[in-house]
């Protein structure tokens, strides 16, 4: 079996550290915002503000990666998020917290796009699903332990998790700076023609790429937005449990993710992307739609677990499909940036819209709406083409003529 390149393992280790810190603040962030006497919608907007800046800065990040290289932009992004998170710990009001958290979104999109570009460049075609699974698992391992540690840290105050998170990001930066020196440097000037970056307009002609954008939007809406911003509020406000149980719910969701991701990557390499994507989206749709109707904590935790399994099946699989479509080519263009933006758009709109519905109509309709979003992705994937090289017997899903069309 093809060995996973060393650089992938470095990214995996960094992902664990990043996600550990992100998980640390997940239980505290909505409660911290609410401590300034704001509504559910305003508390959810703190999560959305981070994603708004990611969304706005993604096109610029794509160009920066092309000019300066993935590794350099990755490190700068980590340092920006570390500084803004440390500032959040000392916010004296809601608007300060919102501003500091939003500033972190700029750095976040820098290291996210850079990491994805490195992953696509380094992952061999025949094991893209397995690599994407490990890459996602690295993030989720941190998400499992992070909320549990974060729930314990809130006992020392809601500001403490932000301090610890900033330290975790500094550790991740040190890992990448010292262990990934031979990858993702500044592109060298050369007279040798280099493969171009696939244009967004070209990628959009591909049915699978369109389905990828939709499922990534659903992933951002449900997993990155609603899960972090609204699920803790449902546990604390809807079921009248403490902030610590909100952290447990997030950890259980992440545990379901890891359980599915362990097998999803290998299955998608063997049987194709669609046979894994469709059951994952269906499972996430049903479990998420029922979550807001859970009558007690035990039922809510069970649905979090099932929803996590569904997300764990489709999240790494559409990431592998993206690598199939784009191929191991020079990355950082609009097609890759649009992929990141689709998730951010979901993470921006999801918490605000669902928080608004929860304020007006309750948590039941709010989570049903989230189920509708994942159901739309299911429909598009039902009509998407297969891209896995082991199944279709080809390389990137775009034709050679299509791939000659590059970003200007």
The listed range with the strongest mean pLDDT (42-46, 332-336, 348-352, 373-377) is 373-377
Burial class (CB in 10 A: 0-12, 13-18, 19+), 188: exposed
Residue 340 lies in a domain: yes
**Cβ-proximal residues to 400 (8 Å cutoff; 6+ apart), any chain:** none
With bands split at pLDDT 50, 70 and 90, how would you rate the model's confidence at 377? very high
Q: 61: which residues sit within 8 A by CB, 6+ positions away?
A: 73, 109, 110, 113, 114, 337, 340
Looking at every residue in the chain, the average pLDDT score rounds to: 81
Q: 403 lies in a domain? A: no
55/315 Cα distance (integer angstroms) = 19
> Please, which pLDDT band fits residue 399 given cuts at 50, 70 and 90?
very low
Contact at 8 Å (CB) between 281 and 217? no
Q: Are 310 and 287 in contact (CB under 8 A)?
A: yes
Domain range for 255 is 6-185+198-389
DSSP-derived 3-state class of residue 406: strand
Q: Which residue has the tokens 């380094």?
A: 122
pLDDT in tens, 201-225: 788 888 899 999 999 999 989 887 7
Confidence of residue 26 (pLDDT cuts 50, 70, 90): confident
- Asked whether residue 230 is assigned to any structural domain, the reply reads yes
Residue at 400 is within a domain: no
Query: Hey, what's the torsion of the CAs at 261, 350, 77, 84, to 10 degrees?
Result: -120
Residue 408 above 50 pLDDT?
Answer: no
In a domain, 407, yes or no: no
Q: What is the pLDDT of residues 244-258, one digit of tens each?
A: 888 888 888 888 888
Structure tokens at 403: 């791939």
pLDDT at position 192 is 41
C-alpha 94/C-alpha 245 separation (Å) is 24
Q: Which of 180-189, 264-273, 301-310 is the least confident region?
A: 180-189
Average pLDDT over residues 356-375: 92
Q: How many domains does the chain have?
A: 1
We report the CATH number of the domain holding residue 141 as 1.20.1250.20
Q: Are 320 and 393 contacting, i.e. CB atoms less than 8 angstroms apart?
A: no
Mean pLDDT of 259-265: 85
In a domain, 276, yes or no: yes
The pLDDT of 169-186, averaged and rounded, is 76
Nearest C-alpha neighbor of 324 from the set 72, 119, 111: 119
Q: Are 120 and 322 in contact (CB under 8 A)?
A: yes
52-90 pLDDT, tens digit per residue, is 788 888 888 877 877 787 888 889 999 999 999 999 888
Q: Where are the beta strands (DSSP E) in 328-393?
A: none
In a domain, 396, yes or no: no
CA 145 to CA 163: how far, in whole Å? 17
What is the pLDDT, as a whole number, of residue 1?
A: 56
Is the model's pLDDT at 19 over the cut of 60?
yes
Residue 369 resides in a domain = yes
- Residue 404: what pLDDT? 42
Return all residues near 302 (Cβ < 8 A) that are at least 6 apart.
none
């Amino acid at each position: 079996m093809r060995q996973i390149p060393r650089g992938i393992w470095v990214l995996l280790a960094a992902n664990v550290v990043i996600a550990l810190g992100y998980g640390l603040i997940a239980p505290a962030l909505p409660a911290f915002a609410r401590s300034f006497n704001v509504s559910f919608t305003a508390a959810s907007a703190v999560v959305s503000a981070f994603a708004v800046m990611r969304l706005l800065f993604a096109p610029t990040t794509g160009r920066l990666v092309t000019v300066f290289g993935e590794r350099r932009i990755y490190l700068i992004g980590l340092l920006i998020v570390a500084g803004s998170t440390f500032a959040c710990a000392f916010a004296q009001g809601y608007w300060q917290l919102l501003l500091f958290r939003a500033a972190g979104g700029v750095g976040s999109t820098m290291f996210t796009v850079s990491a994805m570009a490195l992953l696509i460049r380094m992952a061999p075609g025949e094991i893209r699903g397995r690599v994407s699974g490990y890459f996602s698992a690295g993030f989720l391992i941190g998400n499992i332990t992070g909320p549990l540690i974060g729930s314990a840290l809130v006992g020392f105050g809601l500001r403490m998790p932000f301090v610890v998170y900033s330290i975790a990001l500094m550790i991740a930066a040190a890992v990448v700076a010292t262990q990934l020196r031979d990858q993702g440097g500044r592109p060298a000037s050369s007279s040798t023609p280099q493969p171009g970056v696939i244009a967004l307009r070209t990628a959009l002609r591909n049915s699978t790429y369109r389905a990828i954008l939709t499922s990534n939007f659903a992933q951002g809406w449900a997993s990155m937005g609603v899960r972090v911003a609204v699920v803790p509020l449902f546990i604390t406000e809807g079921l009248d449990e403490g902030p610590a149980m909100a952290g447990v719910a997030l950890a259980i969701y992440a545990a379901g993710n890891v359980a599915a991701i362990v097998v999803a990557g290998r299955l998608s390499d063997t049987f194709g992307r669609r046979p894994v994507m469709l059951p994952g989206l269906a499972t996430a749709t049903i479990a998420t739609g029922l979550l807001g109707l859970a009558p007690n904590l035990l039922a809510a935790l069970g649905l979090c677990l099932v929803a996590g399994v569904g997300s764990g099946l489709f999240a790494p699989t559409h990431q592998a499909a993206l690598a199939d479509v784009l191929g191991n080519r020079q990355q950082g263009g609009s097609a890759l940036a649009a992929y990141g933006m689709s998730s951010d758009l979901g993470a921006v709109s999801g918490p605000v819209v669902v928080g608004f519905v929860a304020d007006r109509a309750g948590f039941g309709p709010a989570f049903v709406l989230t189920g509708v979003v994942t159901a739309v992705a299911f429909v598009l994937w039902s009509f998407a083409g297969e891209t896995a090289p082991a199944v279709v017997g080809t390389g990137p899903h775009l034709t050679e003529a299509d791939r000659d069309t590059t970003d200007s």
